[in-house]
Amino acid sequence: MEVAALGRPFCVGMLYDCRSDELIPGLTLWDRDDLEKNTRERRQLNSDFEIVASESIQDKTSALNVEASLKASFFGGLVKVGGSAKYLYDNKTSKKQARVTLKYKTTTKFQELSMNHLGRDNMKHPYVFEKGIATHVVTGILYGAQAFFVFDREVSEQEDHQVIQGNLKVMINKIPTVSIGGQGSLNMEDGDRADVQKFSCRFYGDFCLEKNPVTFQDAVEVYQSLPRLLGPNGENTVPIKIWLLPLTVLDSSAAQLVRQISLQLVQDTQNVLEDFRELEVRYEDAMTTTTAQQFPEISKKIRGFKEKCSQFKLEFQQRLSKQLPSIRGGGENEAGLAETIRKIHSSPFNSKDLNEWMDCREREIHTVNMITNRMKNTKIIQTQSQLFQEAINAEHVVCFVFTSLGSDDRFISTLSNYLHQRTEPQHPHDAERGQWFASKRLTEEMRKKAKLFSDFAEENKDSRKTKFVAVGLTDETQKGSSIHLYKDGFSDSENFEPPSEPEAVTASNTNQDSVTLKICAPRFGAQNVTSYSVEYRVLGEDGWTQQTVSTAGEVKVSHLSPQTEYEFRCRAVTSVGVGPANQLSASTLPGIPGRATNPRSLKDSLKQTSERINYDSPSIFKLSLTEDRLSSRRCRRLTLGRESSKGKRIMIVFGATGSGKSDLIDGMINYIVGVEWKDSFRFILTDGGLQRPAAENQNSVLTVYKLNHQEGFRIDYSLTIVDVPEFGEHPDAEGHMKIFQQLHSFLLSEQGVSEVGALYFVAPASLRALTHTQKYTFDFIIPNFEEGMLNNVRVLVTSADTQRPAVLRAITDFNVQCAKTREGLPVHFKFNNSALLAHSTSTKLWDSEMENMKKFFEALRSETKRWIVTEKMIEFAKEKEKYFQMF
């Protein structure tokens, strides 16, 4: 009789009980010395490897040469395996795994007892027969070693499992032939090397390793080292295969193996355990889904199901461990084991019912996943406590509730009752009966609610007062789902219905400057509507104009341009937020000659000819300007609009790097052309735009912005801004002299300006001390204007708030020659550049900035001085060149 060793410590002459497949240590029929003298040994060298691609119990036990009877003992837990045989315990945990196993086997020697030694007269301890504790004696052992390298590769949903499995098998089959390069890297193609990096490895073997392999390269290195690990003389080998002799051959009174378990019963037992193994993979996969982790009600059911199945499987194995020895020893016949298996198939733990229950859980997970995947701008929470925290921290919380995930599961109750009472159910199990997702009505109702909820959440994603969450809370009064509304931390409704888009929106009447729309109330959620929002814009343009009406019906949209196609969108408004929009397009009629129409505003006209820089909110447009190169190649003039007969004002602006000068100039143009806070766009003049870094590079070109007055200006004069290049943070004599010379050349040129309203110094409010560069501006540049001009030096303070700017004290302490207030501070104007891109729902910051701009331009209107160029300026510049030598 032959059996696999399975890592058990056999030796020649050891007693063995085949009834329980148990080794009997400490007792032998012969003395140790006699055993050693009569043991013959011969070499039996062989090495081999094979690929095990299947994970079935049958294939794994076959790989270890486990015959049917020993397999049954393993199933019943009678055999505790070790070494390479621990491979039998290794099971896949997910269907998303591709797995291939490499088996290595080597044999070195064979030991056996001599026939002479087996005679009864040679036995020194015949009393062993009387004890009846063993049925066989070990008469032969084949020594060697085995190793199993188990390779796994995760398979994504986008990959073909069969293809990945095939590729994995091809690569594992190459291991015996892969060589290792001089630097320890594997000699293989780059594509193969990339593939194997996705493999993981586990090792089960009869070898003592310093470190188990975890990667493909580790496995190659270990595989190639296995022959050395056997030892020079094979001293590190272990029993692989055992030959047993029945004790009844030696003495008829010895205990014997009465019968073996039939192959059919072993196969039936294997099938039961195989079914449970496959089921374990399914519920492990289900437990690791995002949906099961997000909703504890689902994972709790699966965990309870798993516990019941594990308990039943353990009880079955415990029963096996008692029945097998009894059947083999003649204490009972096989009918008892056959009845045990029959009861499994008729119990609630039969494979069909268990798998149908898992089918239902997977369907439930898929349905919930489909719903939640459509929910944008929604936070999934897990408990009632988390819902309370969300509700207390927001003005409104709209919550989609899965109400049936935690409902009692009758099948789990049936499994529990069977484990405790062993009573079979009276009626066949119907896995889908009573399940919410099996009801067409409930599923359609949930989809409808989910669409209303997700559309509502998407439309209000930018709202700061409303949050959207989803949770599983059991509510038997509302099967499937419901939508709850919380206000200021308290429940306001448990059946809130967000509005859908208006059922219909049509253009019932059009003329040259208006379109009349007919709005029908939404099909769903009309009871929660408080008003309707109507938005419109010229087709293809950005930014919407909005008006609100209190009820559905006809609404007239006026002040439109003739013969223009407009886009309209209408939506319902609730106290919580707005619903999705119903959109349409309609065109106004051509204008009637002689009848006045509403002209397009200046800002809208400018937007049509400007370059769009980005699509943020608000979006940024670069004004289209006409560029002229002046006589100096380092000067340019950018002109907006045609020459105007209106009065002109000229301002020269200085500012160091990081002063906010460019942002301030950009803010001025938005004020001038009439941009309002509600507009969805802003303009820029400067190249720096709105996102200028604090340490930007010096712009070395003097730029003149000539803004010719147009209808729609908020100021009643044309404006020229002389933008002096920004001074760097560190004094540089040559660079600063060039800037001064640029300004000097421009003012003296034919294209220069004849009069200047004022000189403006730009500085941030927080500046507490002037830098060397700023001191240079006051000490060198400004004094070169004629003396009367010094009283027209003004300070433009950026990033200002309601506090007195610290920079004013810094300027005063430096004794700058400029106009002073009654308090002795420099005459100044405060601005807050951030208002240009304010996202706040309040217009307070914007309105304050527009008021600042209004005061500034009114002051500029009354300030005009003729600027006179003198030779003194040139001589003074040369003297001041020595100023920088001290730095």
Predicted confidence (pLDDT) at residue 103 exceeds the cutoff of 60: yes
Tokens of 287: 């437990």
101-127: average pLDDT: 81
**Cβ(12)–Cβ(140) under 8 Å?**
yes
Q: Which of 493, 518, 545 is the last residue of a domain?
A: 493
Provide the residue range defining the domain that includes 657.
Answer: 612-886
Predicted confidence (pLDDT) at residue 790 exceeds the cutoff of 90: no
Question: 871-880 vs 733-748: helix axis angle to the nearest 10?
Answer: 170
Question: 296-329 vs 263-287: helix axis angle to the nearest 10?
Answer: 160
Q: What is the pLDDT of residue 825?
A: 87
Q: What is the pLDDT of residue 485?
A: 97
CA–CA dist 774, 601 (Å, integer): 41
Q: What is the pLDDT of residue 735?
A: 61
Q: Which of 493, 524, 539 is the last residue of a domain?
A: 493
Same structural domain for residues 11 and 40?
A: yes
**Cβ(759)–Cβ(654) under 8 Å?**
yes
Same structural domain for residues 225 and 328?
A: no
Tokens of 243: 């030959």
pLDDT digits (tens, 9 = 90+) for 256-280: 888 889 999 999 999 999 999 999 9
- Kindly state whether residue 599 falls inside one of the protein's structural domains: no
- Kindly state whether residue 80 falls inside one of the protein's structural domains: yes
Same structural domain for residues 866 and 819?
A: yes
Same structural domain for residues 253 and 269?
A: no
Residues above pLDDT 90, as percent of the chain: 56
Q: What is the pLDDT of residue 869?
A: 46
67-93: average pLDDT: 94
**Cβ(102)–Cβ(205) under 8 Å?**
no
180: left (phi over 0), alpha (psi -120 to 50) or beta: beta
3-class DSSP assignment, residue 380: strand
CA–CA dist 637, 703 (Å, integer): 6
pLDDT digits (tens, 9 = 90+) for 390-442: 999 999 999 999 999 999 888 999 999 999 886 666 656 777 778 899 999 99
Same structural domain for residues 306 and 362?
A: yes
Specify which residues 565 forms β-bridges with.
587
Q: What is the CATH number of the domain that holds 727?
A: 3.40.50.300
Give the confidence band of 249 by pLDDT, cuts at 50, 70, 90: confident
Same structural domain for residues 119 and 138?
A: yes
Distance of CA 698 to the CA centre of its chain: 41
DSSP 8-state symbol, 478? S
Q: Which of 476, 493, 510 is the last residue of a domain?
A: 493
- Kindly state whether residue 414 falls inside one of the protein's structural domains: yes
Distance of CA 560 to the CA centre of its chain: 45
- Kindly state whether residue 602 falls inside one of the protein's structural domains: no
Same structural domain for residues 485 and 515?
A: no
Same structural domain for residues 76 and 128?
A: yes
User: Which CA distances in Å does 398 have to 453, 641, 808?
Assistant: 8, 51, 51
- Kindly state whether residue 596 falls inside one of the protein's structural domains: no
CA–CA dist 305, 431 (Å, integer): 13
Domain count along the chain: 4
Instruction: Let me know if 870 is exposed, middle or buried by CB neighbors in 10 A (0-12, 13-18, 19+).
Output: exposed
Tokens of 722: 């002389």
Instruction: Let me know if 664 is exposed, middle or buried by CB neighbors in 10 A (0-12, 13-18, 19+).
Output: buried
The least confident of 250-264, 522-536, 546-560 is 250-264
Distance of CA 580 to the CA centre of its chain: 27
**Cβ(453)–Cβ(464) under 8 Å?**
no
CA dihedral 639, 641, 642, 644 (to 10 degrees): -100
∠ CA(267), CA(269), CA(274), 5° rounding?
90
Same structural domain for residues 273 and 225?
A: no
- Kindly state whether residue 185 falls inside one of the protein's structural domains: yes
The C-alpha R_g of the chain, in whole angstroms, comes to 45
- Kindly state whether residue 286 falls inside one of the protein's structural domains: yes
Same structural domain for residues 344 and 196?
A: no
- Kindly state whether residue 399 falls inside one of the protein's structural domains: yes
Same structural domain for residues 736 and 775?
A: yes
User: Which CA distances in Å does 256 have to 241, 261, 732?
Assistant: 21, 14, 108
pLDDT digits (tens, 9 = 90+) for 749-769: 666 665 677 788 899 988 888
137-143: average pLDDT: 95
Give the confidence band of 699 by pLDDT, cuts at 50, 70, 90: low
670-678: average pLDDT: 90
Task: Please provide the average confidence, as pLDDT, over all residues in the chain.
Answer: 86
Predicted confidence (pLDDT) at residue 874 exceeds the cutoff of 70: no
Same structural domain for residues 342 and 317?
A: yes
pLDDT digits (tens, 9 = 90+) for 465-499: 899 999 999 999 999 999 999 999 999 999 999 99
- 140, amino acid identity: G
